Structure formats: C-alpha cells, structure tokens
A = this chain, B = another copy of it.
Amino acid sequence: MQFHHHGYVSGDPRIQEAAGTGIDRPEELPDEMDVLIVGTGPAGMITAAQLSQFPDITTRIVERRPGRLAIGQADGIQARSVETFQAFGFAEQIIQEAYRITEMCFWKPDPADPSRIIRTARPVDDELGVSEFPHLIVNQARVLDYFGDVMRTSPTRMTPDYGWEFVSLEVDDAAQHPVAVTLARTAGPDEGALRVVRAKYVVGCDGARSRVREQIGCTLAGDQANHAWGVMDALAVTDFPDIRTKCAIQSEAGSILLIPREGGYLFRMYVDLGEVAADDHGAVRRTSLDQIIAQANAILHPYTLDVKDVAWHSVYEVGHRVTDRFDDVLPDDLGSRTPRVFITGDACHTHSAKAGQGMNVSMQDGFNLGWKLAHVLEGRSPAELLSTYSAERQVVAQNLIDFDKEWSALMAAKPEDLPSPSELEDFYVRTAEFPAGFMTEYTPSLITADSSHQALATGFPVGKRFRSAPVTRVCDGNPVHLGHHARADGRWRIYVFADAAAPAAGEPGPVPALAEWLTTSSSSPLAATPADADPDAWFDVKVIYQQPHSEVDLGAAVPAAFLPRVGPFELVDYEKVYAAAPADDIFDARGVSRDGAIVVVRPDQYVSAVLPLTATDELATFFAPLLAARPVSAGV
C-alpha cells in the first residue's frame, strides 16, 4: 500500500481522498451522468467499484431493492475472483471470513449395500497451484458489501441509489448524453413515480430477467428446459462426517451438492430436483423446505441431518443460455457504430449453480468493461475500445456454458450411466483450471497482440490473465508478489524483465535503452500521459532484475524510468524495482528468457503482449490506436 506522498495520512489509508465528482457528490440521482449502471449484483458492483476510481467520471448505480442484499444467491468464489479482490484491496479481509475449499469428497452408493453411501474419493481442490489465492465460499452479500466499501472510500465517494427500477431506454447517438433512461421509484414516499435521466453509457447488470437486455433486443438462446435444485443455507446437527467439506453425493435416492459455508457451522445443500418439464407450470417452485430436508435425509442415508435453522432456501431453477451479443450494436452496424448500452453477468448468460460460476464470470464481465468505459470517457482511448467488450466476453460465456453443461450432466447422471466409475472425479481434476476461472484466453484484437514472441515468456501466455509470482522488492528487501502491486486503478502495466547484465550506472544495454525510449521518445506510450499528471498515471512501468536485490544499486544504476517522481513533492516511488527471489526465481517460474522481455498487461490483468526488450516499434504500434483518442463529448 502506498500513501503519504501527497502529505501525511493520519487515519485509515484505505480511505482515499475525495476528488473530482466525489467532492460534492449529490445524494440524489442527478439528471445527467456519464455512466448509469442498472443492478447492484456482482456484475454491477464491480463495474461501479472500478469506475469509482476515476474522479472525473460521474457514475451512478441504481437498484430496484430498497437496500443491500441480505441473504441467499451465489456463494462460490473462484481463485480468479480472489485475485480480482486483491486488486480492489480486500482479498485478505474476505479470505479471513470465508470458507476455504482445499479438497472435495465424492460419495456414492456402497456396492456392498447400495442403500448406503460411502466416500469414494477425496481429490485436492487446486492440485496444480494455478493461483496463489484460495478457492472460497462466502455469501454473495458480503462480496457486494466489500465492493460497496471500495466505492465509498474511493475518490468519488460512490454509494448505490437504492429503490430505483429500470423501466426502459432510448438511444440517440447524436445527443451529448445519448441514452435516455426511464426509471421508477420502488421505495420511499414517491413510490411508483417515473423519472427520466440521461447517460452517456448504460450498463445493464440486472440479472437473468434483464429488462435492459430486452430493451436492446437481445434474447437468451440455449436450453429449452430448466434444471431445478432445492437449495438451503442450514444449521444442523449431523453424523455425516464430511459436513465441513465440499461434497458431491450421489445415492439411490438422488444427488446433493454440499457446500460448507463461512463461519464454521452453516452449510448450503443443493438437492437435485431434476429437469423441469415443459408443462410444470411452476410446480417445482412450490417444493417446500420440508420436502427438501426429507429428500436430503433420504440421500444421506445411513447418515441423518437434524436441521435446526434455515437462513435461506429457494428452488433455484436455471437453464444454460447465452445471448449472441453483449451490447446494443446490431451485427450490421459492427464497425460503423460503437456501443452505448451494455449488458453483463446473468443478463447475458445463465448456467447451473454446480460449478459455482455465476457470480465469478459476472464479475469478470464487469472488470473487463469498467476500465474501457473509463478510458473512453476520460479521452484516453477511442470509443472503438468499447466494442472489444462484447467480442471478448461473449466467447467466454459460450465456453462457460459448454463446460457447465458437461459438468451438470455428469453431476446429475446416475453412477451406472457414467462411462467409468470415477468419471466425475476425473473430470473435476482434469478441468480444475476452468472452474477456478483461468481458462479465459482472449484472441488477438485492438488490445491483445499476437503471440509471436511468446517464447520469451512462456509463463505469461498472451491473452490469459497475468499470473503473479514471488519477487524481492529492491528498496527494502521485502518478499512480495509481483502481481499484487497492480491495483484496479485502470492503469496499463509494462513489466520490463531485464537481461542478464547487472544494472550499472552509465553502462549501455537494452534495459537502459528501453527506459530512455519510454521516458523521452514521442512515440512512447508514456508520451500520451497528461503533462499535469504523475509520470506513471497512465502507465505503470516496472523492472525485474535477475540479480539478488542486494546487488541492485538504487542510487545510480537503475534508470529513472523505474523510479518516477510523484505527487506534489515529486518524491521517488521506489516500489517499481524488483529482483528475482533467489529461492524462487521468477525468470524460471514463468519461463522468462534470460535475454529479458517486455510483458504488457491490461488494466483488468490480462496479458496483452510479450515483446523483446528492443521492440520499441512494436510497443509504439500496439499502443498507437489505443491512445488516438478524441474527447467523447465531441459526438463519438
């Protein structure tokens, strides 16, 4: 955490100084705004939290409910999401209070007496170590609370506008604020009153029955039928020994997914209620809590479940569906028009609860979109950047649906119908990277270069999320994670992995040459940084040396590009210079060439490019179209 460089901070350094639109933020929803977000689910809240970091952008987030979510909905948090929380500053806090999955148990009918279940396997959860972060379970409400804290303590001092329902919208591309949105008050004395507000952009994060989606003419395609599960968050006494372990339980009486929950006592059980027939007419939704509990006891036999208290229960009915586009640009207008309205999360894709994907993928949608909106609104980047959102995330959603279908089918299948008795466990272990959230791989685009230089850093695949690794911070010898310095502040990152030469004052070499080009060339991306901003305001440039930290002399050997002068006192930022940790060398761990490499990382943490240290032309070419911005108010 870096602070005090604008003067001494006496209180909690997590509370940023109010700035820009945060200084006099109106409590009431204004008539005009830059971005209107609809819905305070995970997709909406992360988008809002990201935008809240930009002092000059006015973002409001409306929600139909009168206040915060209190119970229920999703609870599975993939490691990728925890990485994301780290960027927003609350990973450690949420880990403290969450349940951590380290292994999963599989239970099946005992071949000797199929009326009884027995444990058949206990694979560990993340055998491959795909992330330094754990796989967690915690209620969705707490995730939303943490994003709420991020917003509230951001320079813009954002809070959700509760009690407003999105009704409809109209887009007039020629207007200053092209999207006119009709909202209805759902709480307070003027309940029912309609109001029209105008925004430059609208983001529909309004869930599976999205009205924003309907308004921009997208439809969900996919399964005809839904699958239904009776779900309860329960406190109980049981002799089932794995009650605090995630379990897939298949018995003659049906199947259960058991998810232990935060706090040590609560657990969630999904009891399979099967495919919902076309002529069901909501019958399945009338399944009572008593029926769910009775069914759970039947499945758990010979164990019993004495339920003492149920905090939440529901019949969760869902199909595998996805929309063909995530914004309001019709296929015919692609290339000639840029989007004004977006949809994210469940509004775009729904899937079973089984792989614990819903909340996670929805957050990655919002993380993908947030910085793009900010860069366009701030005038850093042209509006074309916004088209990459739908292009990138629609593919991810489709892959996810395909994966989830396979997993759900396996979970729902009778053991005797599976090709091999261990099919379920095998699939779980084989595909671990997927549910952990790391299979997303963006293809070449405006923001993803080709992978022709991938060999220079095989552990940082272009298009995949930047996978952190331990390093030593030179200035204080602290062992740190390289990726954890990257916060959700909307900056591009340029990691310069040095060649083998020891850093030395005045010696020529590719690192000093690159550093010189970055800070002085007019074709360097850094040249676009506004003159009145800190030199690292748009691009966060770091260097990682191969030598132990004690051999890196900060006094004279490290180029100034990596020691920028920041804040009103122009103090040196010493936290951009790293050394390979002798016991865990990042060059080895991530397959980085000993000749060095440049790794360019997007604000949402995906690798955009891997380049040789000398590739200043390619670097310039990559960033040129992203920095050729016209102010958005000029009618983009």
A-B CB proximity, top 10 nearest: A8-B311, A244-B475, A308-B569, A4-B263, A241-B555, A2-B264, A3-B263, A4-B266, A244-B476, A5-B265
- Asked if A572 is an interface residue, CB under 8 A from chain B, the answer is yes
Stretch of A10-18, A184-192, A337-345 lying at the B interface: A10-18
- Complex CA gap A311/B9 in Å reads 9
- Asked if A584 is an interface residue, CB under 8 A from chain B, the answer is no
The smallest beta-carbon distance between A269 and chain B, in angstroms, is: 15
- Complex CA gap A551/B266 in Å reads 24
Establish whether residues B13 and A141, one from each chain, have CB atoms under 8 Å apart when the complex forms. no
Establish whether residues A4 and B261, one from each chain, have CB atoms under 8 Å apart when the complex forms. yes
Establish whether residues A479 and B102, one from each chain, have CB atoms under 8 Å apart when the complex forms. yes
The smallest beta-carbon distance between A117 and chain B, in angstroms, is: 13
Chain B residue numbers with a CB within 8 Å of A413 are none
Closest residue on chain B to residue A5 by CB atoms: B265
Chain B residue numbers with a CB within 8 Å of A423 are none
Establish whether residues B265 and A2, one from each chain, have CB atoms under 8 Å apart when the complex forms. yes
Chain B residue numbers with a CB within 8 Å of A309 are 7-8, 569
Chain B residue numbers with a CB within 8 Å of A145 are 11-12
- Asked if A260 is an interface residue, CB under 8 A from chain B, the answer is yes
Establish whether residues A9 and B93, one from each chain, have CB atoms under 8 Å apart when the complex forms. no
Chain B residue numbers with a CB within 8 Å of A99 are 476
- Asked if A554 is an interface residue, CB under 8 A from chain B, the answer is yes
- A 226-268 to B, binary, CB cutoff 8 A, 1 in contact else 0: 0000000101110111011100000000000000111111100
The smallest beta-carbon distance between A424 and chain B, in angstroms, is: 19
Closest residue on chain B to residue A245 by CB atoms: B476
Establish whether residues A8 and B71, one from each chain, have CB atoms under 8 Å apart when the complex forms. yes
- Complex CA gap A575/B237 in Å reads 15
Chain B residue numbers with a CB within 8 Å of A233 are 8
- A 90-119 to B, binary, CB cutoff 8 A, 1 in contact else 0: 001100110110110000000000000000
Chain B residue numbers with a CB within 8 Å of A570 are 237, 308
- Asked if A422 is an interface residue, CB under 8 A from chain B, the answer is no
The smallest beta-carbon distance between A25 and chain B, in angstroms, is: 24
Chain B residue numbers with a CB within 8 Å of A263 are 1-5, 9, 13
Establish whether residues B102 and A476, one from each chain, have CB atoms under 8 Å apart when the complex forms. yes
- Complex CA gap A551/B478 in Å reads 39
Chain B residue numbers with a CB within 8 Å of A261 are 4
The smallest beta-carbon distance between A553 and chain B, in angstroms, is: 6
Closest residue on chain B to residue A552 by CB atoms: B241
Known: A308-B571, A478-B102. A4 touches B97 (CB 8 A): no
Known: A14-B97, A550-B122. A569 touches B235 (CB 8 A): yes
- Asked if A222 is an interface residue, CB under 8 A from chain B, the answer is no
- A 480-521 to B, binary, CB cutoff 8 A, 1 in contact else 0: 000000000000000000000000000000000000000000
- Asked if A477 is an interface residue, CB under 8 A from chain B, the answer is yes
Q: Among A103, A124, A571, which residue has the most Cβ atoms of chain B within 10 A?
A: A571
Establish whether residues B5 and A264, one from each chain, have CB atoms under 8 Å apart when the complex forms. yes
- Asked if A623 is an interface residue, CB under 8 A from chain B, the answer is no
Chain B residue numbers with a CB within 8 Å of A574 are 243-244, 264
The smallest beta-carbon distance between A129 and chain B, in angstroms, is: 13
The smallest beta-carbon distance between A74 and chain B, in angstroms, is: 15
Q: How big is the A interface, by class? A: 35 or more
Q: List 19 A-B contacts (CB under 8 A).
A: A3-B262, A3-B264, A4-B262, A4-B264, A8-B309, A10-B71, A13-B262, A14-B97, A102-B476, A103-B477, A122-B550, A124-B477, A237-B571, A237-B572, A240-B555, A243-B475, A244-B476, A265-B571, A308-B570
Establish whether residues B477 and A554, one from each chain, have CB atoms under 8 Å apart when the complex forms. no
Chain B residue numbers with a CB within 8 Å of A330 are none
Give the contacts of A539-596 with B (CB-CB under 8 A). 550, 553-556, 565, 567, 569-575
- Asked if A628 is an interface residue, CB under 8 A from chain B, the answer is no
Establish whether residues A8 and B266, one from each chain, have CB atoms under 8 Å apart when the complex forms. yes
- Complex CA gap A571/B311 in Å reads 15
- Asked if A194 is an interface residue, CB under 8 A from chain B, the answer is no
Chain B residue numbers with a CB within 8 Å of A167 are none
Establish whether residues A100 and B262, one from each chain, have CB atoms under 8 Å apart when the complex forms. no
Chain B residue numbers with a CB within 8 Å of A478 are 100, 102
- Complex CA gap A331/B550 in Å reads 55
The smallest beta-carbon distance between A242 and chain B, in angstroms, is: 8
The smallest beta-carbon distance between A190 and chain B, in angstroms, is: 28
- Complex CA gap A92/B94 in Å reads 11
Give the contacts of A65-103 with B (CB-CB under 8 A). 70-71, 92-93, 96-97, 99-100, 102-103
Question: Of B13, B142, B262, B477, which is within 8 A of A97 by CB?
Answer: B13
Chain B residue numbers with a CB within 8 Å of A122 are 550
Establish whether residues A476 and B260, one from each chain, have CB atoms under 8 Å apart when the complex forms. yes
The smallest beta-carbon distance between A581 and chain B, in angstroms, is: 12
Closest residue on chain B to residue A574 by CB atoms: B244
Known: A571-B308, A574-B264. A4 touches B235 (CB 8 A): yes
- Complex CA gap A475/B265 in Å reads 11
Chain B residue numbers with a CB within 8 Å of A244 are 475-476, 574
Establish whether residues B571 and A235, one from each chain, have CB atoms under 8 Å apart when the complex forms. yes
Establish whether residues B553 and A241, one from each chain, have CB atoms under 8 Å apart when the complex forms. yes
The smallest beta-carbon distance between A228 and chain B, in angstroms, is: 24
The smallest beta-carbon distance between A418 and chain B, in angstroms, is: 24
The smallest beta-carbon distance between A248 and chain B, in angstroms, is: 16
The smallest beta-carbon distance between A325 and chain B, in angstroms, is: 36
Chain B residue numbers with a CB within 8 Å of A11 are 145
Closest residue on chain B to residue A14 by CB atoms: B97
Establish whether residues B100 and A1, one from each chain, have CB atoms under 8 Å apart when the complex forms. no
Closest residue on chain B to residue A475 by CB atoms: B244
Give the contacts of A430-455 with B (CB-CB under 8 A). none
Known: A12-B145, A71-B8, A264-B575. A96 touches B479 (CB 8 A): no
